[in-house]
Amino acid sequence: MIPANSPALAAVITAAALMSSVATANPSPAAAKPATSSATPSTPEGSLDIVQLGAKGDGKTDSTKYILQAWKNACKATGTQKIVIPAGNFLTGAILLEGPCTSDIIIRLDGNLLGTGDLNAYKTNWIEIMRVNNFAINGHGTIDGQGPLVWNHNQCHKSYNCKILPNSLVLDFVTNAQIRGITLKNSKFFHLNMFQCKNIHIERLTITAPGDSPNTDGIHVGDSTNITIRSTSIQTGDDCISIGPGTKTVRISDVKCGPGHGISVGSLGRYKDEKDVEDLVVSNCTLKGTTNGLRIKSYEDSKSQLRATKFVYDDVKMENVSYPIIIDQKYCPNNICSKSGTSKVAVTDIVFKNIVGTSATPAAVTLNCANNLPCQGVQLHNVDVKFAGKGNTTIAVCNNVHGKSSNVAKPLACL
């Protein structure tokens, strides 16, 4: 054993301190790589650069097959393999990138991918990553859905059971993945959709679409666990981030939203057999000019029994948000549910703290819970949001809600 004061140990400590200071000063390069598989990288049978494979970045030639070829080459290799999409405008149709793969794959995206406006080129989604473990997308490129070419085909404002247009980037059954740095713009439907995913890290994305574009949600997460979204800016025509049933452990921080519909949990209870939404933390975010701020919504006549529980919203700034804090257990769009229905979605243990700024309607706080299933354990601490308009005063609308509050602006202190 080395005595605690030995020079040898001191040298070890100094080296460790040095290494950790280097690691702290520059954390991203190492973190940007997915966990490397134990296998040593093999040489893939074909190139992983789509231009070398034959793709043309002229914005007109269909590059779909070259991306599929690069994926095929990477997926059957071993170790970490990097697909390169260099600068250029690459037009494509549907791209299904399926695993399982024997390698870990990084897609380096520096060019622009353009989703064709020909809807016959898609079955459901545009770029779909499926059943892949240890995966990353990074770079400075753009995934451009070219939504303006097809938004007039969107019927979802007229009919609730409408045919949905292709989502831009979809992760299905993906585990241990990172998406960093890229831009998603003008999706035909959602920009980024995750279903049954686990351990996903999203950082420094830019997501943009016009404020009046239909169903262009920024990020939707459903049936997934351990999802982190940070340092991201989202301006769209629908939800900034929405979290669907069956989702657990979501961390959202340093996200800027607006225009759009805000950060939303729900809608819950629309279908049978939905699972709980649990353990959500939203911190250090700004919402600007959105219709909702922090929202939890469930159907008035929910079809399944579940819980929305253990949420913390901390340090969120509102700028002219129509409904900054809103729990709506009586959600019933287009009158599709029976008004006499009873809620089976229990909303419990929800903390709002350090929420400040302005609202565009008087109702800065709306806690509208069901008569048959009141919300429990709702807390408001350091909440001060003021109506920014004229000729009216700030109010809280609270029904069937139990909990406690401290240091809340007087008109909002309804708990």
Ligand X SMILES: *[C@@H]1O[C@H](CO)[C@@H](O)[C@H](O)[C@H]1NC(C)=O
User: What is the closest distance, in whole angstroms, from the C-beta atom of residue 410 to ligand X in the complex?
Assistant: 17
Query: Which residue lies nearer to ligand X by CB, 84 or 316?
Result: 316
Identify which range of 124-132, 136-144, 209-217, 359-367 contacts ligand X by CB under 6 A: 359-367
Which range in 166-174, 184-192, 264-272, 357-365 contacts ligand X by CB under 6 A? 357-365
- Residue 45 token pair: 């049978």
User: Please, which of residues 363-392 interact with ligand X by CB under 6 A?
Assistant: 363, 391-392
Task: Pick the piece of the chain touching ligand X (CB under 6 A) from 94-102, 151-159, 326-334, 360-368.
Answer: 360-368
Contact 376, 404 (CB under 8 A): no
Q: Alpha-carbon distance 96 to 85, whole Å? A: 16
Which is the catalytic residue, given 157, 201, 261, 381? 261
Instruction: Confirm or reject binding of residue 226 to ligand X (CB under 6 A).
Output: yes
Whether 196 contacts 220, CB under 8 Å: no
* Segment contacting ligand X by CB under 6 A, of 163-171, 207-215, 296-304, 358-366: 358-366
Contact 363, 392 (CB under 8 A): no
> Contact, 186 vs 148, CB < 8 A?
yes
Question: Which of 73, 199, 292, 343 touches ligand X by CB under 6 A?
Answer: 199
CB of 215 to ligand X, least distance (A): 19
Contact by Cβ (8 Å): 337, 370: no
Of the pair 226, 399, the CB lying nearest ligand X is at: 226
Q: Is 320 in the site for ligand X (CB under 6 A)?
A: yes
Beta bridge partners of 82: 106
**CA angle at residue 153 from 148 to 157, to 5 degrees?**
105
Burial status of residue 40 (CB atoms within 10 A of its CB: 0-12, 13-18, 19 or more): exposed
Q: Which of 143, 169, 360, 408 binds ligand X (CB under 6 A)?
A: 360
Peptide bond into 267 cis (omega under 30): yes
Spatial separation of the C-alpha atoms in residues 382 and 388, rounded to whole Å: 19
Sketch the per residue contact string, 156 through 185, with ligand X: x for CB under 6 A, - otherwise.
------------------------------
Residue (202 or 370) nearer to ligand X, CB: 202
Residues written for the chain:
415
Q: Would you count residue 284 as binding ligand X (CB under 6 A)?
A: yes
- The letter for the amino acid at 17 is A
Cβ-based nearer residue to ligand X, 73 or 366: 366
The Cα–Cα gap between 99 and 94 comes to: 16
Query: Which two three-digit tokens encode residue 30?
Result: 């190492």
Give the residue among 218, 173, 178 at the shortest CA–CA distance from 196.
Answer: 173
Q: Which of 98, 110, 254, 279 binds ligand X (CB under 6 A)?
A: 254
How many residues make contact with ligand X (CB under 6 A)? Answer: 16
Using CB under 6 A as the binding rule, whether residue 235 contacts ligand X is answered as no
Closest distance between ligand X and the C-beta of residue 245, in Å?
A: 20
Per the CB < 8 A criterion, the answer to whether 281 and 321 are in contact is: no
Residue nearer to ligand X on the CB measure, 67 or 179: 179
Cβ closest to ligand X, residue 34 vs residue 93: 34
The nearer residue to ligand X, 64 or 283, going by C-beta atoms, is 283
The question of whether 261 is a catalytic residue gets the answer yes
Closest C-alpha to 313, from 331, 295, 330: 295
Are the beta carbons of 279 and 308 closer than 8 angstroms? no
Verify binding: residue 82, ligand X, rule CB under 6 A: no
Token pair 């353990």 in the structure block, residue: 279
Q: Show which residues are catalytic.
A: 261
Task: Give the footprint of ligand X on this chain (CB under 6 A).
Answer: 199, 201, 226, 228, 253-254, 284, 289, 320, 322, 360-363, 391-392
